[in-house]
Chain A
Amino acid sequence: MSSSTPPLLQVSSLHVHLGGRDIVQDVSFSLTVGERVGIIGPNGSGKTTLFNSLSGFLPVSAGSITFREREISTLPPHRRAQLGLGRVFQNFGIFREMSVFENMLLAVESNRKIPKRRRQSTVAEYLDLVDLLEKQKDKAGSLSGGQMRLLEIARTLAVGAELLLLDEPTAGVSPKLKDSVRNLLVHASDNKRTIVVIEHDMGFIGQLCDRILVLDVGRLVLDGPPDEIRSSQKVHEIYFGDAHA
């Protein structure tokens, strides 16, 4: 994390106000290119809300979000996505009624850098990357949980996302495919993509991330390397001590 390069994402004093209270309160952090960051926190601590405000699905009530040195907090979601802010949803963001191939094709069609004549081959490349080439004609809704995640992540990569916000990518994924998900994310980060994952699976986070942010009741309470977080007394109090954990 050299200080000379500007951060990819800079979040400053972010507040998100919903239903009469601040769900996200005064959150600040920044990310540099290629980082793999985990976000943990008890249920309802505001992790998904934080992602939704970064992606543009929820309005920011105060603070700023700078992505690639550009203030994006008032841009609509699709503009942020075009700038390279990708999102993988907690409840699966695939198009279930469409084929696996069409899901991928939509992503490739959304990437303006890929010329028309290369669309088909690019779709095949990405499907191959996640081992779904044989399933390309199947309805995406017929895939297993892990395959849906892999498809959604590959789709986000194909759109050209520089920063991937993944909301519990291992939920509903078999242990074997968890490894595939992790390998895919490591592969992506080797290719200069920056990754932020919300996770409850500490093993997964420990193996993937080089930095962890801890959210509690909407506040960012800790920010450090996995070892430090694991041994932190505070985390034990708010997270591991919590009945949900």
Chain B
Amino acid sequence: MEEYCIHLAILCCIYLILAHSFNISFGLAGLLNLAHIATYAIGAYTYSILTIDYGYHFVAAFLLSGVGAALFSVFVGAIAARLRGDYFALGSLGFYFVVSALLINWREVTRGVLGIAGVPRPELLEIDFYENRNFLVLAVILCLGCLACMYLLQVSPFGRLLRAQSENEFAAMSLGRDVARARNLSFLISSAFAGFSGAIFASYLNYVDPSSFSLTEMILVLSMVVVGRPGSFWGVTLSTIFLVLLPEPLRFLDFPPSAIGPLRQIVYSAILVGVVYWRKEALFPRRRVV
């Protein structure tokens, strides 16, 4: 039971970073980047490949997983520069499928659907991180660090600019602000943090494969931000913890194990649909023209 609670706490840490990173581009900047889960995948794969194939140390691999994910966000920025609103969401979804096809088919690097096994946990300060209790401490520290950075960003002038341009890009431009650059930067930062959470995820499971980065996962992250209210730091924090723990009681009910997965997805989807319906005015305000 204790092991189980530790497991859930580690999952909370991973998803908190992931959901908050998505909150930067979606919640603050108003950009529905459906390729966000791809940057999470790139973080996880970068960490796995660097540690296994190149023998990188945890610290270096962890930082580079953020860098790798951030570099990939350049493509997302290029899509955003050309497409607006719903079209951007569709364009980013297309980009997600490209990445996901690469994960499956570029076998020399990603090992395809078999995934990469034996991803190491950190070797730091002579602490045994294969002990989940110790890993949890590390995850909590990394999570608090990432969340603190993202909180500061949110209340900074840059965070304010992101919110402003999401409401009225023309008005933001006429204040002399480079809106395109701000958007790119928001993708860069949000992808870097997604990359970090991917690295923690890979290191925790000791294993990555393409199925961990499916659209179902994207919907889960989207729900975390939508339920918590896009842009709200504490709202997203609470809803992430709530949604990570929510399906857990299902385990203790008398369902066949094969039904649990689909059941979780039904629960998440129902919550997402419910919240979107209930708050449709706030989530999709009527557009104004210049």
Contact A94 B171 (CB under 8 A): yes
Judge whether A169 is part of the interface by a CB distance below 8 angstroms: no
Min CB gap B163→A, angstroms? 7
Decide if B176 touches A95 in the complex (CB within 8 Å).
no
A40 at interface by CB-CB < 8 Å: no
Scan residues 276-290 of chain B and give those whose CB is less than 8 A from a CB of chain A.
288-290
Q: Which of A52, A94, A95 has the most CB of B within 10 A?
A: A95
B105 at interface (Cβ–Cβ under 8 A)? no
| Residues of A contacting B288 in the complex (Cβ-Cβ under 8 angstroms) | 91
- Taking CB atoms, residues of chain B closer than 8 Å to A90 are 290
> What CA separation (Å) do A94 and B167 show in the bound complex?
9
Q: Would you call B259 an interface residue if the criterion is a C-beta within 8 Å of the partner chain's C-beta atoms?
A: no
| Minimum C-beta distance from B133 to chain A (A) | 44
Name which residue of chain A comes closest to B289, CB basis: A91
Which A residue sits closest to B157, measured CB to CB? A109
Q: Please give, as numbers and ranges, the residues of chain A lying within 8 Å of B216 by CB-CB distance.
A: none
Residue of chain A at shortest CB distance from B288: A91
Q: Does B174 lie within 8 Å of A86, measured CB to CB?
A: yes
Indicate whether A106 sits within 8 Å of B176 (C-beta atoms), given known contacts A91-B289, A95-B171: no
Chain A residues within 8 Å of B160, by CB: 98, 102, 105-106, 109
Q: Which residues of B contact A93 (CB under 8 A)?
A: 168, 170-171, 174
A122, chain B: closest CB distance, angstroms: 14
Q: Tell whether A89 is near chain B: CB-to-CB under 8 Å.
A: yes
Cα distance, A90 to B289, chains bound together (Å): 10
Residues of B within 8 A of A63 (CB): none
Residues of B close to A82: CB separation below 8 A: 176
- With a cutoff of 8 Å between Cβ atoms, the chain A residues found around residue B215 in the complex are none
- Given contact pairs A91-B288, A91-B290, A55 touches B174 in the complex (Cβ within 8 A): yes
Interface membership of A240, Cβ < 8 A? no
CB-contact partner of B175 in A56, A79, A98, A106, under 8 A? A106
Give the chain A neighbours of B164 by CB distance below 8 A. 95, 98, 106
Chain A residues within 8 Å of B289, by CB:
91
Interface size on A, residues (CB 8 A): 32
Q: Which of A53-95 contact B (CB under 8 A)?
A: 55-57, 76-79, 81-82, 86-87, 89-91, 93-95
Quick check: is A159 within 8 A (CB to CB) of the other chain? yes
With contact pairs A82-B176, A106-B160, A106-B175 given, residues A57 and B167 touching in the complex (Cβ less than 8 Å): no
CB distance from A179 to the nearest CB of B (A): 25
> In the complex the two chains form, what is the Cα distance from A109 to B176 in whole Å?
10
Within 8 A of B (CB), among A153-173: 155-156, 159
Task: Tell yes or no: B179 within 8 A of A by CB.
Answer: yes
User: Given contacts A57-B170, A57-B290, A91-B288, are A110 and B163 in contact (CB under 8 A)?
Assistant: no
For residue A156, which residues in chain B have a CB less than 8 angstroms away from its CB? Answer: 174
Closest to B163 in A: A98
Which of chain B's residues 242-290 have a Cβ closer than 8 Å to chain A?
288-290
Contact A89 B176 (CB under 8 A): no
Q: Contacts A52-B290, A109-B160: A78 and B168 contacting too (C-beta < 8 A)? A: no
**How far does the Cβ of A220 sit from chain B's closest Cβ, in whole Å?**
22
Whether a CB of chain A sits under 8 angstroms from the CB of B42 is no
List 16 extra interface pairs beyond A52-B290, A55-B174, A78-B179, CB under 8 A.
A57-B290, A76-B173, A78-B174, A78-B176, A79-B176, A87-B174, A89-B171, A89-B174, A95-B168, A95-B171, A96-B167, A98-B164, A106-B160, A107-B175, A110-B175, A110-B177
Q: Interface of A with B (CB < 8 Å)?
A: 52, 55-57, 76-79, 81-82, 86-87, 89-91, 93-98, 102, 105-107, 109-111, 152, 155-156, 159
Chain B residues within 8 Å of A, Cβ to Cβ: 157, 160-161, 163-164, 167-168, 170-179, 288-290
